[in-house]
Chain A
Amino acid sequence: MSISTLDRLLGRFADLTSRARPWYRWPFLIAMPTLVGLRVNMRTRNLFDSETEPEPVAPETPLDVRNQRTIDGSYNDLGKPWMGMAGTRFGRNVPIPDSFGEEEPGLFDPNPRLVSTKLLRRKDFVPVPHLNLLAPAWLQFMVHDWLSHGDNDPAVKHEFPVPEGDDWPEKRMSILKTTPDRRRPGDEGRPDAYVNKETHWWDGSQIYGSFAARQRQVRSDPETGTLLADGKVAVLPDGLLPLHAGHKTPGQELAGVNGNWWLGLSLMHTIFAREHNSIVDRLRIDHPEADGEWLFQKARLVNAALIAKIHTTEWTPALMNSPEGRLAMRGNWWGLLGEHFGRAYGRVGENEVLSGIPGSPVDHHAAPYAITEEFTAVYRMHSLIPDEFSLRKHETDEEVIRTDFFGVTRGKVRTDIYARLPFEDALYSFATSNPGALVLHNFPNGLRKMPEAPLKQPEHAEDASVFIDLASIDILRDRERGVPRYCAFRRHLGMFVPKSFEELTDDPEWQQDLREVYGEVEKVDLLVGTLAESKAARNGTPPGFGFSDTAFRIFILLASRRLKSDRFFCEDFRPEVYTRAGFDWIRDNNFRSVLERHFPDLAVHFADVRNVFFPWRKGQAR
Chain B
Amino acid sequence: MTRRLRIPGLIDLVRIDDPASIAAASTDARLDRDFTGGGPLINRWIAGRIRRSLRTPTEPLPSVSPRDQPDRAARQAALQCRLRKLVAEGAVAPDHIEELAAYVRGERHERSVGPLVQTAVGCLFDDGYMATASTWRAACVMDAAPRNMNPLRSLWWAVTDAVGRAQRLLSGAADDDPAGVHATAIAVHSLVRSVRAMRQLWLEPGTRDRITADAAVTRSLRAPESVPRRWPAPATTVWGNLPAGALTLFELDKARERDPDADITFMAASWSHCPAAEWTTALLKAVWQRACQGAAP
**How far does the alpha carbon of A522 sit from the alpha carbon of B210 in the complex, in Å?**
13
Most chain B beta carbons < 10 A, residue from A1, A96, A188: A96
Q: Kindly count the residue-residue contacts between A and B in the assembled complex, taking CB atoms under 8 Å apart.
A: 72
Tell me which residues across on chain A come within 8 A of B257, comparing CB atoms: 48, 95-97
| Cβ contact within 8 Å between B210 and A186 | no
| Cβ contact within 8 Å between A97 and B205 | no
Of the stretches B73-81, B119-127, B241-249, B259-267, the one at the interface is: B259-267
Tell me which residues across on chain B come within 8 A of A384, comparing CB atoms: none
| Cβ contact within 8 Å between B219 and A100 | yes
By beta carbon, the residue of chain A nearest B257 is: A95
| Cβ contact within 8 Å between B210 and A103 | yes
By beta carbon, the residue of chain B nearest A92 is: B258
| Cβ contact within 8 Å between B258 and A49 | yes
| Cβ contact within 8 Å between B261 and A188 | yes
Apart from A100-B212, A104-B210, list 12 A-B contacts with CB within 8 A.
A48-B257, A97-B256, A100-B218, A105-B209, A106-B210, A188-B261, A189-B260, A190-B218, A190-B261, A366-B258, A520-B205, A522-B204
| Cβ contact within 8 Å between B261 and A189 | yes
B88 within 8 A of A: no
B151 within 8 A of A: no
CB proximity of B172 to chain A, nearest CB, Å: 37
B1 within 8 A of A: yes
| Cβ contact within 8 Å between A96 and B259 | yes
A376 within 8 A of B: no
With contacts A96-B259, A189-B261, A191-B215 taken as known, whether A520 is within 8 angstroms of B206 at the C-beta atoms is yes
A97's contact among B2, B3, B209, B218, by CB below 8 Å, is which? B218
| Cβ contact within 8 Å between B219 and A189 | no
Tell me which residues across on chain A come within 8 A of B211, comparing CB atoms: 100, 102-103, 106
A366's contact among B1, B214, B218, B221, by CB below 8 Å, is which? B1
| Cβ contact within 8 Å between A1 and B258 | no
B207 within 8 A of A: yes
Tell me which residues across on chain B come within 8 A of A106, comparing CB atoms: 206-211
Q: B-side binding surface: helix, strand, loop or mixed?
A: mixed
A300 within 8 A of B: no
Residues of A183-214 contacting chain B, CB below 8 A: 186, 188-191
Tell me which residues across on chain A come within 8 A of B259, comparing CB atoms: 96, 190
**How far does the alpha carbon of A519 sit from the alpha carbon of B211 in the complex, in Å?**
19
Residues of A within 8 A of B (CB): 1-3, 44, 48-49, 95-98, 100, 102-107, 109, 186, 188-191, 366-367, 479, 485, 488, 519-520, 522-523
By beta carbon, the residue of chain B nearest A479 is: B210
CB proximity of A199 to chain B, nearest CB, Å: 24
By beta carbon, the residue of chain A nearest B281 is: A189
Tell me which residues across on chain B come within 8 A of A191, comparing CB atoms: 215
Residue total for B at the interface (Cβ-Cβ under 8 A): 24
**How far does the alpha carbon of A191 sit from the alpha carbon of B210 in the complex, in Å?**
13
**How far does the alpha carbon of A191 sit from the alpha carbon of B214 in the complex, in Å?**
10
Tell me which residues across on chain B come within 8 A of A105, comparing CB atoms: 209-210
- The 8 A-B residue pairs whose C-beta atoms are closest, nearest first, are A106-B210, A106-B209, A95-B257, A100-B215, A102-B210, A520-B205, A522-B205, A97-B260
**How far does the alpha carbon of A3 sit from the alpha carbon of B261 in the complex, in Å?**
26
Tell me which residues across on chain B come within 8 A of A367, comparing CB atoms: 258
Tell me which residues across on chain B come within 8 A of A519, comparing CB atoms: 205
CB proximity of B62 to chain A, nearest CB, Å: 25
**How far does the alpha carbon of A2 sit from the alpha carbon of B239 in the complex, in Å?**
12
**How far does the alpha carbon of A1 sit from the alpha carbon of B20 in the complex, in Å?**
13
**How far does the alpha carbon of A162 sit from the alpha carbon of B104 in the complex, in Å?**
34
Tell me which residues across on chain A come within 8 A of B209, comparing CB atoms: 105-106, 109
**How far does the alpha carbon of A188 sit from the alpha carbon of B259 in the complex, in Å?**
10
By beta carbon, the residue of chain B nearest A1 is: B1
CB proximity of A118 to chain B, nearest CB, Å: 17
Tell me which residues across on chain B come within 8 A of A520, comparing CB atoms: 205-206
**How far does the alpha carbon of A488 sit from the alpha carbon of B205 in the complex, in Å?**
11
By beta carbon, the residue of chain A nearest B4 is: A2
Tell me which residues across on chain B come within 8 A of A488, comparing CB atoms: 204
Residues of B within 8 A of A (CB): 1-3, 204-212, 214-215, 218-219, 221, 256-262
By beta carbon, the residue of chain A nearest B201 is: A98
7 pairs, CB–CB < 8 Å, chain A vs chain B = A3-B1, A48-B258, A96-B260, A106-B209, A190-B261, A488-B204, A520-B206
B206's contact among A96, A189, A366, A523, by CB below 8 Å, is which? A523
| Cβ contact within 8 Å between B258 and A95 | yes
| Cβ contact within 8 Å between B206 and A522 | yes
By beta carbon, the residue of chain A nearest B218 is: A97
By beta carbon, the residue of chain A nearest B221 is: A97
Tell me which residues across on chain B come within 8 A of A189, comparing CB atoms: 214, 218, 260-262
Tell me which residues across on chain A come within 8 A of B261, comparing CB atoms: 186, 188-190
| Cβ contact within 8 Å between A44 and B1 | yes
| Cβ contact within 8 Å between B218 and A2 | no
B258's contact among A96, A103, A485, by CB below 8 Å, is which? A96
| Cβ contact within 8 Å between A190 and B215 | no
**How far does the alpha carbon of A189 sit from the alpha carbon of B215 in the complex, in Å?**
8
CB proximity of A404 to chain B, nearest CB, Å: 36
Tell me which residues across on chain A come within 8 A of B260, comparing CB atoms: 96-97, 189-190
CB proximity of B55 to chain A, nearest CB, Å: 33
With contacts A95-B257, A191-B215 taken as known, whether A107 is within 8 angstroms of B206 at the C-beta atoms is no
**How far does the alpha carbon of A576 sit from the alpha carbon of B206 in the complex, in Å?**
56
Tell me which residues across on chain B come within 8 A of A103, comparing CB atoms: 210-212, 215
Tell me which residues across on chain A come within 8 A of B218, comparing CB atoms: 97, 100, 189-190
**How far does the alpha carbon of A367 sit from the alpha carbon of B1 in the complex, in Å?**
10
**How far does the alpha carbon of A102 sit from the alpha carbon of B221 in the complex, in Å?**
18
CB proximity of B6 to chain A, nearest CB, Å: 13
**How far does the alpha carbon of A96 sit from the alpha carbon of B259 in the complex, in Å?**
7
**How far does the alpha carbon of A303 sit from the alpha carbon of B208 in the complex, in Å?**
49
Tell me which residues across on chain B come within 8 A of A96, comparing CB atoms: 257-260
| Cβ contact within 8 Å between B219 and A98 | yes
CB proximity of A411 to chain B, nearest CB, Å: 40
By beta carbon, the residue of chain B nearest A190 is: B260
By beta carbon, the residue of chain A nearest B256 is: A97
**How far does the alpha carbon of A1 sit from the alpha carbon of B208 in the complex, in Å?**
36
Tell me which residues across on chain B come within 8 A of A95, comparing CB atoms: 257-258
With contacts A520-B206, A523-B206 taken as known, whether A2 is within 8 angstroms of B219 at the C-beta atoms is no
By beta carbon, the residue of chain B nearest A102 is: B210
CB proximity of B262 to chain A, nearest CB, Å: 7
Tell me which residues across on chain B come within 8 A of A102, comparing CB atoms: 210-211
**How far does the alpha carbon of A95 sit from the alpha carbon of B208 in the complex, in Å?**
18
By beta carbon, the residue of chain B nearest A187 is: B261
**How far does the alpha carbon of A488 sit from the alpha carbon of B201 in the complex, in Å?**
11
B3's contact among A2, A98, A366, A485, by CB below 8 Å, is which? A2
Tell me which residues across on chain B come within 8 A of A48, comparing CB atoms: 257-258
**How far does the alpha carbon of A189 sit from the alpha carbon of B2 in the complex, in Å?**
25
**How far does the alpha carbon of A65 sit from the alpha carbon of B256 in the complex, in Å?**
35
By beta carbon, the residue of chain B nearest A44 is: B1
Tell me which residues across on chain A come within 8 A of B207, comparing CB atoms: 106
**How far does the alpha carbon of A1 sit from the alpha carbon of B210 in the complex, in Å?**
35
CB proximity of A197 to chain B, nearest CB, Å: 25
CB proximity of A466 to chain B, nearest CB, Å: 28
Tell me which residues across on chain A come within 8 A of B219, comparing CB atoms: 97-98, 100
CB proximity of A230 to chain B, nearest CB, Å: 47
**How far does the alpha carbon of A97 sit from the alpha carbon of B210 in the complex, in Å?**
14
**How far does the alpha carbon of A479 sit from the alpha carbon of B2 in the complex, in Å?**
34
Tell me which residues across on chain B come within 8 A of A98, comparing CB atoms: 219
Tell me which residues across on chain A come within 8 A of B215, comparing CB atoms: 100, 103, 191
